[in-house]
Amino acid sequence: MIRIMPVLAGLSLVLSATACGGSSGSGDGPIKIGLIVSLTGNYAPLGSEDKKAVELAVEQVNAKGGLLGRKVEIVFRDDKTLPDQAVLAFNDIKGQELTGMIGPVFSNSALAVEPLAQRQKLPYLSLSPATEQVNPIKSYIFVTPALASMYAERFLQYLQNAKITKIAVAHDSKSAYAVSGYTALTQLASKYGVQIVQDDSFETTTTDFSPILTHVRGSDAQGFMFWGTGAPGVIVTKQYAAAGLKIPLLLTGSQASKLWLTPVGPAGEGITIESAIGVVGDALPDGPQKQIIDQMAGPFKTKYGYPPPQFAQDGYSAALLLFQAIRNAGGTDPEKIQKALESMKLITPNGLFKYSPTDHSGLSPAYISVNTVTNGAFVPTEWAKAQLLQTIATQG
């Protein structure tokens, strides 16, 4: 029987107010948190899910009395899926006495904003998985999703277990996330006995993947790994199914939501796709990890009519991390919050975070699930389920 280890008392799963001392937490005004996400443009479907999740976390914490006796208020702006607009959005709200910021889902926007947050000494939790954000470490910059490099390594672990040794790869050359993941894949492949036998690139605006699929068909690849976000993931899935290719199509966590699942329809059946652990919470046994996932998933589904997708998991996890850092800091002093984040240990829907002065990503690849789409749902493979159960059994 799996035994779930108890978490530290300071990691309460309840979003309750914490009575802390310090004059910075005794003001009457709200604690303001900035939120920059894509509400228009190519990544609007992703950013809107982040916004819904952050708003849910704020509603829940305010219903319990807020933080340090003060209500939490979100100040949000739209980056329009454009890095220059993300910079304008940051400059527009940086002077509003923000306690912290939750940053863009679009990796290119996140990379544009992070130097500004660092210069401002504003605690910043990014919603983008681009590895470059935290390598090298910048003191005020933290990442919430599992890094693109972690998604690459998790897939390689899965391929090694499945005895798949030759793969074809295509990546979006205009996406920082895709480039980051692809780079890590090429660097780590030999470690896991995997050879890339066909290598293609495309751009975010690509709508015809038939040339790439022709290359895949002509190779001796045993699987086809696709690195892209948004519309390209939907298009390639439909064209892959129409082409009648028999090797597995492998998609990363950027497609782990209804935003991909609904439009691909039957073409998605049998596809192998990664996700954060929270996306497959129904497959987990009761315990701290499942409880924190359910704390989000139940109200989210009631409010919006569907389970929280990958991007919502990221937004909610970022909010929990920032809330806990403010509690642990005992106030809204940015330096104290930054130090609190660097010593953070907290279970979120994305898994157990362990930030440190040398690790501002906090997660490990062990919290990534590798799933197969079955009857229109993300179902962990037997390998992934065993891995996840082992991981949460040793949380502590």
Give 135-166 pLDDT, tens digit per residue. 999 999 999 999 999 999 999 999 999 999 99
- The upper half-sphere exposure of residue 366, i.e. CA atoms within 13 Å in the direction of its Cβ, equals 17
Rounded to an integer, what distance in angstroms lies between the CA atom of residue 255 and that of residue 51?
18
Q: What is the pLDDT of residue 27?
A: 61
Q: Which two tokens stand for residue 258?
A: 């209804």
- Residues in CB range of 101: below 8 A, 6 or more apart: 33, 34, 35, 36, 90, 117, 122, 123, 124, 125
Q: What are the residue ranges in the chain where pLDDT is below 50?
A: 1-26
- Rounded alpha-carbon distances, angstroms, from residue 118 to 97, 133, 144: 16, 11, 16
pLDDT, one tens digit per residue, over 40-89 is 998 999 999 999 999 999 999 999 999 999 999 999 999 999 999 999 99
Averaged pLDDT of the chain = 92
Angle at which helices 44-63 and 288-304 cross, to 10°: 110
**Omega before residue 136 within 30° of 0, cis:** yes
Looking at 3.40.50.2300, 1.20.120.160, 3.40.50.300, 3.30.230.10, the CATH number of the domain 23-146+286-364 comes to: 3.40.50.2300
Q: Which two tokens stand for residue 342?
A: 């660097």
Q: What is the pLDDT of residue 378?
A: 96
In this structure, are strands 98-102 and 31-37 parallel, antiparallel, or unpaired? parallel
This prediction's pTM: 0.89
Q: Which helix (H) or strand (E) holds 101?
A: strand 98-102
Q: What is the pLDDT of residue 396?
A: 65
Q: What is the pLDDT of residue 91?
A: 97
Rounded to an integer, what distance in angstroms lies between the CA atom of residue 378 and that of residue 374?
6
What ranges make up the beta strands (E) of 223-326?
223-227, 249-251, 272-276
Rounded to an integer, what distance in angstroms lies between the CA atom of residue 150 and that of residue 130?
10
Q: What is the pLDDT of residue 21?
A: 33
Instruction: Please list the residue range(s) of the chain that carry CATH number 3.40.50.2300.
Output: 23-146+286-364, 149-281+368-393
Q: What is the pLDDT of residue 17?
A: 36
Angle at which helices 210-218 and 231-243 cross, to 10°: 50
Looking at 3.30.1490.190, 3.30.70.20, 3.40.50.2300, 1.20.810.10, the CATH number of the domain 149-281+368-393 comes to: 3.40.50.2300
- What is the SS3 string spanning 375-395? CCEEEECHHHHHHHHHHHHCC
Q: What is the pLDDT of residue 9?
A: 34
